[in-house]
């Protein structure tokens, strides 16, 4: 099977997976969702509040290190085999333009479409219209990772209340139309930063599309093309200068020139050369391999020190991610102090007021209570235990009061750390949370 067919199968699988993933839920939570509407992040069926986004750095680190490791091992395989830009471009160029409207040939991506005929102009307009419809579907699919499909289709019925959502979808769709139809592969070359960092990640063990100069001959010298016809090559060189590998390239490069930032490892040049050389009963001159395996006849080493460090970093991040998610909080407790720093009662006692925000993150009803660690110096006023239903959030006023007059400072107010413990009466050993409050005590001359 050719690499092109393998890519099409891979693109189809990724498209189906990406389209269906938002519809999959575990215990009522999405597999992957960043909801600005409900201020939640769902990951693998676990729901995290915005206060719990400590797992996000681990996911981002795993993503970036994973891309670096993948590039170091297999070059820009992400670009050629999984990047949305590439997938959408293949859908438009190879399916819509080539297969449906017959505006171009898949085997020749260098030749521009002839718009001199009215028929081709109409076909071009129809192809843009068809992809515009697909862009709206793609933009909606993208939105499902921020708004669950169930809510999304409900919101669609109330456009006046969800203008921003409509604007976002239309903006993304317009961007896709401009990017895929007009910017084309120039996005990969001039816009995407990934192409600029790939060269620093490559080494002689990196797998990539490589032209075998040992068998085919040097077509370029000092980045300048010096061979144009097969007769100019030595008799032992096998390249036919048919340039099938050039015409099929979607990024318009000549792979025989060597590594170039435009190359996205789509391997279409490998297929093209395989077909041509196969007719001569010879092995392809453009292969998917490393510099060591293709040009130096050495065995590629994937477990180099650099790659091992990548693997180790990813494993460490995954372990930390698992530990973080396993310590998911049963309930959230936020403490905010009121604008009034303190009050003096009876010229002896001092009180501080706080606003507590509590949210039950479990699937059960619980009765929450509060206690204070230093109960010899402080006491709790105006706070009673309360019941919370699953996912319910409430705000409560907490007043801390000193039991006695403290003589701390003649010069300034003094912050005192006070530890409070909120717990569920039904399971106080498992469901509890400790917080330190800052109790502001006035300087001595504040008392009359």
Cα–Cα distance, 127 to 285 (Å, whole number): 36
Q: What integer pLDDT is reported at residue 426 of this predicted model?
A: 87
Q: What integer pLDDT is reported at residue 138 of this predicted model?
A: 95
pLDDT, one tens digit per residue, over 67-100 is 888 888 888 888 889 999 999 999 999 999 889 9
Domains in the chain (CATH in brackets) are 203-294 (no CATH), 331-446 (2.60.40.10)
236-242: Cβ within 8 A, 24+ apart: 238/277, 238/282, 238/285, 239/215, 239/285, 240/276, 240/280, 242/276
Q: What integer pLDDT is reported at residue 73 of this predicted model?
A: 86
Cα–Cα distance, 97 to 104 (Å, whole number): 6
Q: Which residue has the tokens 């973080």?
A: 324
Task: Give the predicted TM-score (pTM) of the model.
Answer: 0.74
Q: What integer pLDDT is reported at residue 304 of this predicted model?
A: 82
Q: What integer pLDDT is reported at residue 15 of this predicted model?
A: 93
Q: What integer pLDDT is reported at residue 429 of this predicted model?
A: 83
How far, in whole angstroms, is CA 187 from its chain's centroid? 19
Q: What integer pLDDT is reported at residue 60 of this predicted model?
A: 84
Q: Which residue has the tokens 């008799």?
A: 235
Q: What integer pLDDT is reported at residue 174 of this predicted model?
A: 96
Neighbour-count burial of 282, counting CB atoms closer than 10 A to its CB (0-12 exposed, 13-18 middle, 19+ buried): middle
Using alpha carbons, list the distances in angstroms from residue 190 to 81, 251, 261, 329, 334. Answer: 19, 11, 10, 45, 46
Residues of the chain with pLDDT under 50: none
Q: What integer pLDDT is reported at residue 328 of this predicted model?
A: 66
């Amino acid at each position: 099977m050719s690499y092109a067919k393998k890519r099409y199968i891979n693109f189809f699988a990724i498209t189906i997976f990406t389209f269906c993933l938002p519809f999959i839920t575990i215990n009522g939570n999405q597999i992957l969702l960043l909801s600005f509407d409900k201020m939640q992040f769902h990951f693998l069926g676990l729901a995290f509040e915005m206060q719990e986004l400590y797992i996000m750095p681990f996911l981002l680190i795993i993503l970036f290190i994973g891309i670096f490791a993948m590039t170091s091992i297999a070059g820009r395989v992400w670009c050629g085999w999984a990047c949305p830009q590439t997938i959408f471009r293949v859908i438009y160029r190879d399916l819509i333009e080539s297969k449906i409207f017959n505006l171009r040939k898949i085997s020749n991506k260098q030749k521009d479409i002839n718009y001199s005929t009215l028929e081709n102009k109409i076909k071009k307009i129809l192809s843009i219209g068809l992809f515009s419809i697909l862009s709206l579907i793609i933009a909606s699919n993208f939105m499902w990772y921020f708004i669950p499909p169930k809510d999304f289709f409900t919101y669609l019925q109330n456009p006046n209340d969800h203008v921003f959502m409509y604007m976002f979808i239309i903006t993304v769709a317009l961007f896709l139309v401009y990017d895929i139809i007009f910017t084309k592969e120039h996005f990969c070359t001039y816009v995407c930063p990934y192409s600029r960092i790939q060269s620093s990640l490559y080494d002689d063990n990196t797998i990539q599309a490589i032209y075998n100069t040992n068998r085919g001959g040097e077509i370029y010298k000092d980045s300048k093309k010096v061979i144009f016809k097969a007769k100019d090559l030595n008799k032992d060189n096998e390249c036919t200068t048919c340039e099938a590998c050039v015409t099929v390239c979607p990024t318009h490069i000549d792979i025989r020139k060597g590594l170039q930032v435009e190359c996205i490892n789509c391997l279409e040049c490998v297929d093209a050369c395989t077909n041509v050389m196969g007719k001569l009963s010879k092995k392809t001159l453009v292969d998917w391999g490393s510099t060591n395996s293709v040009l130096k006849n050495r065995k590629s080493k994937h477990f180099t020190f650099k790659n091992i460090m990548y693997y180790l970093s990813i494993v460490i991040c995954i372990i930390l991610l698992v530990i973080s998610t396993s310590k998911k909080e049963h309930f959230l407790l936020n403490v905010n102090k009121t604008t009034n720093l303190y009050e003096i009662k009876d010229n002896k006692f001092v009180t501080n007021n706080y606003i507590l925000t509590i949210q039950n993150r479990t699937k059960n009803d619980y009765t929450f209570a509060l206690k204070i660690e230093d109960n010899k110096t402080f006491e709790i006023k105006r706070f009673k235990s309360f019941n919370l239903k699953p996912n319910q959030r409430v705000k409560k006023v907490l007043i801390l009061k000193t039991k006695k007059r403290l003589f701390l400072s003649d010069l300034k107010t003094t912050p005192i750390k006070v530890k409070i413990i909120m717990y569920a009466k039904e399971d106080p050993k498992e469901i509890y949370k400790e917080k330190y409050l800052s109790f502001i005590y006035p300087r001595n001359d504040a008392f009359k």
